[in-house]
Every structure is written in C-alpha cells, then in structure tokens.
Amino acid sequence: MKWANALSTRSSLEAAIEEVVERAQEQLGVAANFGILFISAAFASEYSRLMPLLKERLSVPTLIGCSGGGIIGVDSSGEAQEVEMEPALSLSLAYLPEVKIQAFHVTAEELPDLDSSPDAWVKVIGVLPEDQPHFILLVDPMSSKLNDLLQGLDFAYPGSIKVGGLASANAMGGNNGLFCNYELLREGIVGVALSGKIVVETIVAQGCRPIGPTYRVTEGERNILLGLEAQTEEDLGASNGQGRTPLTVLQELIQEMSEEDRSLAQHSLFVGVARNAFKQTLEQGDFLIRQVLGVDPRVGAIAIGDRVRPGQRIRFHLRDAEASADDLRNLLERYCQQNSDSPTSEAALMFSCLGRGEGLYGEANFDSHLFSRYFGNIPLSGFFCNGEIGPIGGSTFLHGYTSVFGILRQG
C-alpha cells in the first residue's frame, strides 16, 4: 500500500492541477488505483472545468472529491497545511493492492426508508456486507435524509467505519461541488467503499471538556430533558427515580464554576450524551456532543439537539479553543498508546468544521500540525466541512465543531 498527497495554492486552476498531479505521481512512484481530491470554494466558478482538465493528466480508475471552504494537504516541503479562504487544490493518490475500491453516487430520493431491510440499502450502495467495507462519504449539505443515510449504513454494514463530511463553500458563498469518477455532481452523496486488506480507524475530536458529574436521565421526551439524577460508580443501570429538574441541576453547576467558565457557558454550553450504555467509567470520547437548544423555566426542562430517553447518561460540556486543543491532544495520545504495537499508518483524512481552524485557535494549521506531531509526516488531506461524519460508541453521527480523522493502513 502506498499513498501520496500534494497541495497547490496556485490561483490558476490549470497550474494547480499540473502541480498536484505531477507531485503526487512522482511521490507515489507506481500507478494509482484510487484518488481523492478537495478543491477550494475560491474556484467555484471553475468546478465544471476541473474534471475535464484533470482527466487530461490523470488516469486513475476511481476518483471522488468535493469542494471546501478550506483545504488540507501536504505542501512541497512535506508539511501539512490548512489553506482557508484562498485558492487551493489537494490531490491524494493511492496504490491499494488487494483492496476492492467501489465508488458510488446516491441521491436523497434513492435512499430507502428506515423501515426497509438491510438488503434495500445494499442494493442502493452496491456493496456486499460480507466484504466488510469501510466508507468515505462526501455529501451535498442540502441533501435531505442524511441522518437516515448514516443510520441505514450502520444497519446494513454494522462494524464498518464511515467517515467524511458535508461539502462547503467559503464566507463569500458559492456553490458546492461533488465529484465522482471525473463527473461533476451538484446533489446527493458521493462515496467510496474500501474492502479487503485495508484498516480504517478514527479519531473524533469534538472539541469540548466536561464539567460537573455524570447524570442519569430519569425523565425525557423526544429531545427534552425533564429529570436528572447524579450517577455514581456503583449505580450503572440503576435509578432511584428521584430526579431533579435539569435546569436546577445546571444552575447549581454554574454556581460552582469559575467566572471564566460562567461567561463561557452563556454561549458555549453543550450536553454530551453517553453512547455506551454498559461502560462503567465514561471517558473523553464516549459522549456524543449536542447543542443546548433552549430551556423552559416553568418546568425546568432543557432541550438539546438529539433524542433522549430515561436511563441514558449525560454530562454538561464547555467548548473553547483551549478545550478543543486539549481534547484533540488527549485523543491522539490515547490512540497512540492503544495502538503502539500496530503497523505504521500510511495516510490520513481530516474532516474539520468550518468553525475550527484559525478562527477558533487564532493560528493557522493547529489541528493538522498537532496530528503530525503524533503521526509524523504521513500524507494528510481533507477539507473544512459544513458538518463532519464519524463514529461515537459504535454508531455513526453527523457532528459540528469537530475534527474527524480517518487513519488508513495496510490490513
């Protein structure tokens, strides 16, 4: 298995294509059988020219890609860069022996409903579950039924990794673009299934730090928290039914915060919903982070951006640049410790929220450079998304304010 990536920041589309194709092919040294590219929204008016120009210089049989408000790739010095709000083109080429590579394009109208059997999803995607595929998904942000797609893929392909992101434009607007096998597409989902001798692992950095204890939901309806009780180490799966209103719990928690955290809680408070019902001690990364949508002071309820049910465990979280940096650093350290005996990773894909990057950290290239400290200068490519796709607790979700890394190596 071999991977190569090249990033160009030339403002001419022809020059950018020439640079990335030449550098990536030279680095790879063999004929590629898979490619993935990301193009800056600064080139939005030229999306229709990209595929014909690329096809003149490149003959890789399977190719997917999309547009992004920011583009991630490896510059000529071999260092990962995040190019925001400026022209950029990132091309990854891969030689994947003994790997089955199958690209697909599906519109929202073609997706089965959630009552359909796994066979209906397999028919639409065109990949057999017994192949144990892993998926890279690039999605038009206007596509409906995206959550249905993720639930359906988890249903039909349990245990398969799904990573990706929603195509994005920059702050100046512009259309989004999807690309599949040298064709420009404007809607739906473009993806690739990789099966065989390839391993895909993930790091999902949601950029938050927990505050206060873990609570168990004693009462909830749809996405509304109505009752909470504190959880102890000994009460897994138990509930004394004596929940208090979530707003009362939160107000007491805020009273105990520092002035800095109280100020942060006014605009950056989130709720983490535990995804592992059986894990005794919950760690960072075990919670699916969701927004607080509002409160009802009359009954002390809190509405969040996900469904809740009695028995689930939740924990309040705060998000800022420091928390985001610490979260990613801790997850990288844990991954390296847990995989110290694994074969060397060959490449990685990075799907990062438009709300991260220099606007969050006050400096460029923060997430990509931090990743490279732990993984070295492996080919890293990706883009800044309108939403990020990655797993938490064995299920796949659409995230916000997150950096999802898909780490690839020989199987």
For residue 243, the enclosing domain spans 208-318
Instruction: Tell whether the model's pLDDT for residue 238 goes beyond 50.
Output: no
* Cα torsion angle, 210, 215, 221, 225, sign: negative
Q: How many CB atoms lie within 10 A of CB 298?
A: 7
User: How far apart (Å, rounded) are the C-alpha atoms in residues 268 and 261?
Assistant: 9
**Location of structure tokens 């019902």:** 277
Average pLDDT over residues 25-45: 96
pLDDT attached to residue 170: 60
Last residue of a domain, one of 267, 285, 318: 318
User: How far apart (Å, rounded) are the C-alpha atoms in residues 262 and 254?
Assistant: 6
Structurally, the chain folds into a number of domains equal to 2
* Together in a domain, 384 and 402: yes
**Location of structure tokens 């883009």:** 383
Please give the structure tokens belonging to residue 198. 């390839």
pLDDT attached to residue 106: 95
Q: How confident is the model at residue 240 (pLDDT cuts 50, 70, 90)?
A: low
* Together in a domain, 160 and 292: no
User: How far apart (Å, rounded) are the C-alpha atoms in residues 53 and 148?
Assistant: 35
* Together in a domain, 75 and 200: yes
Instruction: Tell whether the model's pLDDT for residue 231 goes beyond 50.
Output: yes
* Together in a domain, 159 and 26: yes
* Together in a domain, 306 and 351: no
pLDDT attached to residue 241: 57
Q: How confident is the model at residue 114 (pLDDT cuts 50, 70, 90)?
A: confident
Q: How confident is the model at residue 341 (pLDDT cuts 50, 70, 90)?
A: confident
Query: Using an 8 Å Cβ cutoff, are 190 and 64 in contact?
Result: yes
Round the average pLDDT of the chain to a whole number and report it: 93
* Together in a domain, 190 and 201: yes
∠233-239-241 over CA atoms, to 5°?
140
Last residue of a domain, one of 318, 345, 363: 318
pTM of this prediction exceeds 0.75: yes
List pLDDT tens digits, range 251-307. Answer: 999 999 999 999 999 999 999 999 877 787 888 788 999 999 999 999 999 999 999
* Together in a domain, 252 and 196: no
Q: How confident is the model at residue 149 (pLDDT cuts 50, 70, 90)?
A: very high
Query: Using an 8 Å Cβ cutoff, are 182 and 54 in contact?
Result: yes
List pLDDT tens digits, range 56-111. Answer: 999 999 999 999 999 999 999 999 999 999 999 999 999 999 999 999 999 999 99
Average pLDDT over residues 12-41: 97
Average pLDDT over residues 322-338: 94
Look at 164-178, 218-232, 305-319 and tell me which has the smallest mean pLDDT: 164-178
* Together in a domain, 87 and 193: yes
Strands 162-166 and 134-139: parallel
Please, what is the end-to-end C-alpha distance for the chain in angstroms? 9
* Together in a domain, 218 and 365: no
Average pLDDT over residues 1-30: 98
* Together in a domain, 307 and 329: no
* Together in a domain, 302 and 387: no
Last residue of a domain, one of 295, 318, 341: 318
* Together in a domain, 149 and 216: no
Q: At what angle do helices 118-125 and 146-156 cross, to 10 degrees?
A: 110
Query: Using an 8 Å Cβ cutoff, are 88 and 40 in contact?
Result: yes
User: How far apart (Å, rounded) are the C-alpha atoms in residues 254 and 265?
Assistant: 8
Report which of 360, 371, 364, 356 is spatially closest to residue 168, judged by C-alpha positions: 356
- At residue 29, φ and ψ (nearest 5 deg) are 80, -5
